[in-house]
A and B are shown apart, each in its own frame.
Chain A
Amino acid sequence: MNNVLISKGPYFAFAVVVLVGLYLMIAHRNLVTAVVGLAIFQNGIILFFILIAYQFPATVPILTEEATKAYKHDPAHEQVDHDAGSADDDGDADHANHPSDASEYAAMPHPSANGSLDPADAPTKRPYANPIPHALMLTAIVVGVATLGLAIAILLRLQAETGSVEDELGMPDDQRREVTA
């Protein structure tokens, strides 16, 4: 049990954050609380994506010149280099087929192929953490900001029109505030 808590602890944190958000959305009649709950819920999902991207000894995915050189001189990867057309003395004809950015990226050490899993090793020898979930979450954060902004704009209109930000769904009819617009 203790072991599970330590190795999977961040995932429990994700579950707690998501459930807190869901609770705030459901349990309160105040719509501002619900919008805050929605934001917390979305942030919990962002936490989840960051968690699946991270493996313990992996290092930040920044392609250094050193790593590129070490990779190109490693005979184990010549085949891959050739396939991706990224060898330095290749003509321009190859680069017409492969965008230069993509072919440089091909020089990245493949994590499962040559990464050292020893955390004591230098960062250049360790595998890279997967950068794609971070890129995805950058987009998700932008979407979340747009949602929050629109929600606040609508709440302001609601406040101006009816003088309250309470949800009246499920209230008995005689307790509903009449709309005076």
Chain B
Amino acid sequence: MQLPLMMFVLPFAGALIVAIGGYFVKSLPRVTTIGVMLALAVLSVFSLVQVMQHGTIRVVVGGWDAIVPGGPPLGIEWVLDPFSACIAVVVAVVGLACFVGSADSVERELKRRDTFYYSASLLVVAGLMGMSVTADLFNLFVFIEVSSLSAYALVAAGGRGAPRAAIRYLLLGSLGASLYLLGVGFLYAATGSLNMADVAARLMLPATDTRLPVVAGIFIVIGLGVKMGLFPCTPGCPTPTPSRRSARRR
């Protein structure tokens, strides 16, 4: 079952098609985007049903399983369990509603640049889908960056004052993601593994040093807190809503 892979590849390929095809066919971006999101919503609901009926779906990308008995898995694993399938359904359905709802105002406000808007938004959706299905800590960082970078670009596309809000958002967001990456580094130093389930199992071993995982947890919570604008990390938090654009997610 390659369902988790398809759930990422569908919006990602859609973003590429929109970015390239939008130059040649004028009405393509909007139609393609809504079609892709519709397909994604159907796919994620279908996979939720599949997961509820037949249990968790695991995909080891490239077949790189653990080769040393008892060692950490070498490759990246994507897991679709009931929780991640629920998150994927939420992302796909809310994303579809946003694209349908924002179609008119995008046409009004971003006349020439709607190709850019649709492909960046599809990249955000692809990153969010990847985040919900991945089971690898570093892969999660990559997906966070995929969707954040597209989100910075979307914020910068607004009107007056948008670049300043976007650069502030970029600085804080990248700082948060870097702190998360540092936390992952500490976890990797403590456990020697990046697979989420494997890291959890290794942390339960009595022999594991507890200082490194605690520091890792602090870095990860602070990093994601900065990205989320969580309470103690809010000072200097950007207000990326300078223009009258509607349906800006995140």
Contacts and interface: CB of A to CB of B under 8 A. Distances in A.
Interface stretch (B29-37, B87-95, B160-168): B160-168
5 contacts: A38-B175, A80-B69, A84-B67, A154-B170, A155-B167
Contact of A154 (B138, B166, B178, B188): B166
B68 A179 contact: no
B189 interface: yes
Contacts of B198: none
Contacts of B241: none
A167 interface: yes
Contacts of B174: 38, 42, 147
Contact of A106 (B62, B67, B188): B67
Given A139-B142, A154-B163, A45 B67 contact: no
Contact of B171 (A38, A98, A162): A38
A57 interface: no
A17 B156 CA distance: 30
B163 A102 contact: no
Give the interface centre of A52, A98, A150 by most chain B CB atoms within 10 Å: A150
A41 B223 CA distance: 13
Q: SS class of chain B's interface: helix, strand, loop or mixed?
A: helix
B102 to A, nearest CB: 22
Interface of A: 18, 25, 31, 34-35, 38, 41-42, 45, 48-49, 52, 80, 83-84, 98-99, 102-103, 105-106, 110, 132-133, 136, 139-140, 143, 146-147, 150-151, 153-155, 157-158, 161-162, 167-169, 179, 181
B65 A45 contact: no
Given A147-B149, A169-B236, A25 B164 contact: no
Contact of A110 (B68, B166, B188): B68
Contact of A146 (B67, B138, B149): B149
Complex A-B, nearest 10 residue pairs according to Cβ-Cβ distance, in ascending order: A158-B163, A157-B163, A106-B67, A52-B189, A99-B63, A143-B145, A154-B167, A154-B156, A154-B166, A147-B174
Contacts of A80: 68-69
B69 A48 contact: no
A80 B68 CA distance: 8
Contact of A167 (B74, B152, B164, B178): B164
B138 A25 contact: no
B83 interface: no
Give the interface centre of A18, A83, A154 by most chain B CB atoms within 10 Å: A154
A133 B193 CA distance: 11
Interface residues of B, number: 35
Nearest to A148: B174
A102 B60 CA distance: 13
A48 B185 contact: yes
B153 interface: yes
A158 B160 contact: no
Contacts of B145: 143, 146-147
Give the interface centre of B63, B68, B164 by most chain A CB atoms within 10 Å: B164
A180 B74 CA distance: 55
A105 B181 contact: no
Contacts of B167: 31, 35, 151, 154-155, 158, 167
Contacts of A52: 185, 188-189
A154 B152 contact: yes
Contacts of B46: none
Nearest to B172: A25
A80 to B, nearest CB: 7
Interface string B100-130: 0000000000000000000000000000000
B92 to A, nearest CB: 25
